[in-house]
Every structure is written in C-alpha cells, then in structure tokens.
Amino acid sequence: MNIVVCLKQTFDTEAKISLNSSGKIDDANVTRCINPYDEYAVEEGLKLKEKFGGEVIIVSVGEEKAQESIRTALAMGADKAVIVQDPALNKVDEWVVAEVLAKAVGQIPYDIILAGRIAVDDQSAQVAVRVAEALNIPSVSSILALEVGENSAVATREIDGGTETIEVPLPAVFTAQKGLNEPRYPNMMGIMKAKKKELNVLTLSDLGITEIPERKTSEPVFSLPGSRKAGVKIQGEPADSVRELVRLLTEEAKVV
C-alpha cells in the first residue's frame, strides 16, 4: 500500500510571535515544527504501513527550512519524502499550495492520502480537501478512526455534537483529528536512518508548472492593539454622572 502524507511546517504553538513594520509576522527567530495535526496523519500512515506493508511518502511545499520537519517525519518511520521549493511559492495562498501539492502527489502511486485537518498557523483547513478536488477523489475530514479494506475505507469523523461513519472508495484523502492516535517519538536509530533517506527537492518546472496560478485570497496585514487607556472616574451628582456616562459610551467608546 502506498500512503502519501501531506505535511506542513508551522510555528511552534508556544513560540512568541512578533510583527514587523509591514504588519506581517516576523518569523526570523521563531521555532518551527511539524504541524501538530499532521503528526497524527504521519502516525496513521505508519500504522497502515505496519498492517498492510508498502511505503509512507511525505509530500510538502515550503522553504528549505521545512526540510527539518520532514526529516523528523522520516525519523518517525516514513520511507522517503518530496518537497517542492520555489521562490515563486513564497507568497501564495492555500489554493495555489493545493494545486502544487496535487501535481506533486500525481507523480507518485498512491492508495491513501493523509493530512492534518487544519494547520495551526493559518487555521484554513482547506489544503487537503482542495488536493482531493484537484485529484478528483473523495475526501473525509476530521477523522477519529480509520478502517481500510481492499478497495474502500470506513472512516469515523467528528461532527457537531457527535460522530459520523462514512465509507468511501479508494484512493481517497483523509484529514486527521486529535484522538485518531498517539504519534510516536523518533528514537535515536530513527534519527540516524532519517539522514540517509531520500528527500527529493522539486521546483515548479519539475512539475511542469510554467506559470504560478494567481492566488484567490489576499494576504492579511496584522496590527497589535493599542495600549490600554486609564479608566475615567465620573464625579458629581447622580443625574449629571449618568448623563456624562451615556455621553462617554456613545461618543467616545462608541459601544452604545
């Protein structure tokens, strides 16, 4: 069985984030790691490999530093990896990333594609299902259990107020939710082996992409909240104080 895991490198959830003068996140000194939900996807891929045999292949789109997180997945037990690196991909949105991922995955024989249900940095939850759409295969999001058969799979996924069980033909895309499994930690032997495992670096031209698709969303600009002002103490007779309070709430605070 050929299992592809789409992986993203994200900020460590405990990292301190700062903004630059352009209102963008300054990631120069931010610790990075595998997107936590993608760790569940890697673990599920490894469990399927242990049960059915085959390979677990990591596929990613990112900068060179993303290779560190890919090596971690290889140390967990994945067999090989592909990363698409290209300067044209530095400022693209989820739609473009999904199109590029689908091109990369399309060059690999696959039976199942796994990914995290959401990335903790942008919270979009779009890429994996867009990959499924681009490859014209079914997808099931936020799965808590997965039973794979010869030509189909049964997934239990989280929905509002409960769970839902869905059977889909293979190949298919599944996105992992917390509770699906408990990701393993790389051991020393795995870390040493990961250094020698294949990590294929591709560019857009390697995928036959001569022109990057135009992004469909705009990149947000962030700003920190202003410093908190000191409180105002209203003095005087009750009737006058109430009138002044209403004026302040209406004209200055603008909450009424």
pLDDT of residue 18: 73
- CB neighbour list of residue 116: distance below 8 Å, 6 or more residues apart: 8, 35, 36, 37, 38, 39, 40, 41, 128, 175, 176
* Calpha distance 229→237 (Å, rounded): 25
Alpha-carbon dihedral sign for residues 209, 86, 64, 196: positive
pLDDT of residue 123: 85
* Calpha distance 112→26 (Å, rounded): 36
This prediction has a pTM of 0.83
Mean pLDDT by 10 residues, the chain (256 residues): 95 74 70 93 97 96 92 96 91 90 94 95 89 96 95 94 95 96 94 94 91 77 75 84 88 79
pLDDT of residue 235: 86
3-state secondary structure of 172: strand
pLDDT of residue 228: 78
pLDDT of residue 23: 67
